[in-house]
Structure formats: C-alpha cells, structure tokens
Chain A
Amino acid sequence: MWRGGSVVLLSAASCLAMTASFYMTPSRIVITGIGLTAPNGNSLAEFRQNLLNGVAGVERMEIRYMGTQLAGVCHFDPLKYQKKKEVRVGTRAGSISIYCAREALADSGVAWDSIPKDRVGIYIGCTEHGNVETENEIYNVSKFNYDTKFWSHYHNPRTVANNPAGEASLNLGVTGPAYTIGAACAAGNMGLIHAAQMLRLGEVDFAICGGVSESIHTFGIFAGFKSQNALATHEDPQKASRPFDLARNGIVISEGGALYTLERLEDAQARGAKIYGEIAGYHVNSDASDYVLPNPTRQAECVRAAIKRAGLEPHDIHIVNTHATATPLGDIQECEAIRSVFGEGCPDTYINNTKSFIGHAMGAAGALELAGNLPSFDDKVVHPTINVDNLDPQCALPNLVLNQPKQVARVDTILNNSFGMLGINSTLIVRRFAA
C-alpha cells in the first residue's frame, strides 16, 4: 500500500491480524436521538405516555373501493419541516421520513450544521413502497379513459424503492448514502441493524435509521389481507388490534415511522450526547419455508442468535417485545418460538406487544415498537399488551404483561422481534448504556 510515496509491504499474517482485530473488536454503537410519528403520538414522550395509559390509536378510515376500514392514522404536521410544494410532489412515506429524521436530529442535540453531510448515512426500512403512488395514478388515468398521456411525470421519482430515504436526503442535504431496506415487516429493525453495520465498517460517521410506512394509503394492502382472512374487524376501533386474545381476528394496518440517530460510542461521548441505549446484538435470518406462514423454528433460531451475539443468556433479557400481529396462527407460532427460547427459567423476562395500541405499522413496526419500550430503561415500567379480555391458552407465556403496565425490578435489556412475509426474521437487542 502507498504511504507518502513509499511502499509499505504488509505480510499476509499482518493483514489477517488487522482484519481480525477490526471485526473482533467492533465499535460500540449507541442510540442518541429518536423521532417518531405513531397513530397515538407524534413524539416519544406522547407515544410512551399513551402506551402506559392504555390509549390506542386506531380509527375508521375510508379506503378506495373498500369503504370504511380500521387503520392506524398518524396526525403529525408535515408542514413543520416541508414546504407545501414538497408535500404535493413527494410521497406520504417521504413526509413521514422527513418528519421523523428532523425530530430525531433535534432530539439528538447534534450540531447538524457542522457535520460533514457526506459522512451521514440514511437507512430506512420499508415493507413496500410504490403501491400507493401507482394506485393513485391508475385511479387518475381511469378518469381519462386510461389514456396514459395523463400519467404523472412524478410517478417514477415517487415510486422508486429508495424514495423515502431519498426525500429525507433532499430535505436534509445529506450527500452520503441514503437508501431503503426492503424487508417486509422485519424492516424497522433492519434499518437500525444496517446502520450499526455501516458505522462499524466506517462507511459513515453518523446514521439516521429505522423504518417508515405509508401502507394505509394503498387499498391493495387492505384487500390483500382481507382476501387472506387476516384483516381485523371490531365495532370499537380501539379494541380491534388484540394480539393473544381469543377473539383476535386479524391485523389493523397502520402508517407511521420511527427514525433514530446512531453513532459510534466515542463520537457520542465526545460531544456529550444523551444516550438512550446501546445496540447489543442482532440477527437476521430467513424461514425458507412459505410465502406468508411464519416458521417458529427459524424465529427461535433468530432470537437465540441475537442473544448469543450480544454475549447474553435468555434469562438476561428483561423485555421481549413481540411481533405478534393478532392473526390467529401467527401469534401462536411466535409464542411457540418465544417459549422454546425463554421457557420457564427466565423469571425476570417480561413480554409485551405494542401493536395492540397502534396496529401493525408494517415497515415502521419494529422501529416504533422499540421506541415505545426504550423509556423502560429509566422508569422500569413495562408497557402492557392491551385488549386481552380472554387470553388464548396457546399464547399464555410466563410474565406476559396484560392490560396494565407493570413495574419491574430492573430493565437492562430489550429484545425486539420483527418478522415479515417471505419468511424474513429480525431480532434486535438494545441494552441500557453503561460506560
């Protein structure tokens, strides 16, 4: 390798030692900022308060071709960070990304103007992107006898898969890598995992990451779940999302987003940043068994691998935030996976579910659900799973926190599960920060 005009030759052994050192002592990655919009809150404080007070965020919404459906709708103000024209030209996912990214940056306290923007990465998980905009354009040209000369010139920039991250990069002036990670409903965790990997590789020095979803604006998602007999119905919207309850009848689809600022520990400490927690471990795997049916064996493998990577044992995990979406079979299978990992020997492990409040925020789910639990490091309260009137015996797990928040002795670790179609599983573990 060239150094100042002279040739420095490294032996193969030296190279191997350097490589091993790089990978065996990875940088510690910490969370330093959170921005979110959920159906029951537009900030972490509001979201958390509603999770502790049992306030859900599901409402009735008119869906094209389908009439009134239940959905988790966010009520943030896009104009807080965008011009009207940007909202008109862009996408809902773009607006959610921009809102969450700006809120996270403000929360992080970072001196944004002084950060080299080419060293910032934006990594946003999405279940899907482009359905909303494509459906809108087809509806539009249907009014013109399907004449494609009425098709919008904004269709392509709106529907490219990187749109949500790209709109954030435009708004923030970020010139580093900005792209989305397609991982079905495992994507929210994936945004954080990918950011941690990129920070450790030295690809970027500052990351904005997590997940977003605009899925309530596409009738196709609703119609697809309905055809699959997996769309929730209930006369009371607030009780419609009911994982683990015997009367659960499917998913409440939601929009939302949660983006985090992640930094290497030394960088965060150098600027005196507030630290929410440390990325302790993670794992991603695939079922390779079915398009839609989950596979509890692979889910359990994913959870075990994440715990092992964190250097922990199952009994060291204090909160398990489940992915459970309130489908009859899916909940049982995740419970089977959790039971196989945690069994009866984990008296300090508490289990909850956030979708019972906000429905299934798809690509944002994992990121939002982690955010809702992070304050437990401070208040040692585990938010409950609400709407469980009759616990399904097949979902009965030790320390499942039902309907009321639970004060516990300690919360040092949070394990967050997010699983998705085509059998992608992601588990992320965050630990209380200790220098």
Chain B
Amino acid sequence: MTKDECKKVVLDIIADIAPDEDLSNVKPDVRLRDQLQLDSMDFLDIVMELRKQHGIEVPEKDYIQLASLDSCAEYLTPKFTALGK
C-alpha cells in the first residue's frame, strides 16, 4: 500500500464517521481537527474502524500519530505493509 492509498483509507473512514463534512479539499499537512468537525469520540471511531476493517491496532500512546493525513500515512502505511496490504 502506498502512502496515498493509506490516506484514501483514512478519508473513507472519516467519510463514514463524519458524513456532514466536505472531504474534497482536506489538506494532508494540517491537523484533521483544525479543518474538520472531529472530536475525541470521532478519533476513537477511526481507531475502531482501523481495527474492524483492517485488523490494525493503534495503542493509545500513538493516537497523536493520527493528527493529520500525512502523519496517518507515515504511521499506518508500514502497518498495512506488514499485514501484506
């Protein structure tokens, strides 16, 4: 999986948990919370959907890695790769 593909996975999850948001112009280097209406429960949703849909665990100490699309890609792409995705 490429980093761009990883970002697409995260955006697809966000589209489900924040269906009112316009995701057409999300800036990858800006914190998601600074450009979308996302709260702490929504980030738990992202963690849950990564677990449910992709078998990826994100321990609490690493939640900060999900701050932006870029940091998500940096953190998650190796995990997807390790799972053979």
Contacts and interface: CB of A to CB of B under 8 A. Distances in A.
Interface of A: 83-85, 88-89, 144, 149-150, 152-154
Interface stretch (B5-13, B15-23, B24-32, B66-74): B15-23
Give the interface size bracket for B toward A: 10 to 19
B20 A83 contact: yes
A88 B19 contact: yes
B51 interface: yes
A158 to B, nearest CB: 11
Contacts of A150: 48, 51-52
A153 B20 contact: no
Contacts of B18: 85
Interface-central residue, B20, B44, B51, by most chain A CB under 10 Å: B20
B20 A152 contact: no
The DSSP consensus for interface residues of chain B is: helix
Nearest to A88: B19
Contacts of A149: 51
Given A149-B51, A150-B51, A150-B52, A85 B19 contact: yes
Query: What 10 A-B pairs are tightest by C-beta distance, nearest first?
Result: A84-B19, A83-B20, A153-B44, A84-B20, A85-B20, A85-B18, A85-B19, A150-B52, A153-B41, A88-B19
A304 B17 CA distance: 53
Given A84-B19, A84-B20, A89 B48 contact: no
Nearest to B16: A88
Interface string B39-61: 00100110010011000000000
Contacts of A152: 48
A144 B49 CA distance: 13
22 contacts: A83-B20, A84-B19, A84-B20, A85-B17, A85-B18, A85-B19, A85-B20, A85-B37, A88-B17, A88-B19, A89-B41, A144-B52, A149-B51, A150-B48, A150-B51, A150-B52, A152-B48, A153-B41, A153-B44, A153-B45, A153-B48, A154-B41
A156 to B, nearest CB: 11
A145 to B, nearest CB: 13
Contacts of B44: 153
Contacts of B19: 84-85, 88
Contacts of A153: 41, 44-45, 48
A359 to B, nearest CB: 31
Given A84-B20, A85-B37, A152-B48, 6 more contacts: A83-B20, A89-B41, A150-B48, A150-B51, A150-B52, A153-B41
Nearest to B42: A85
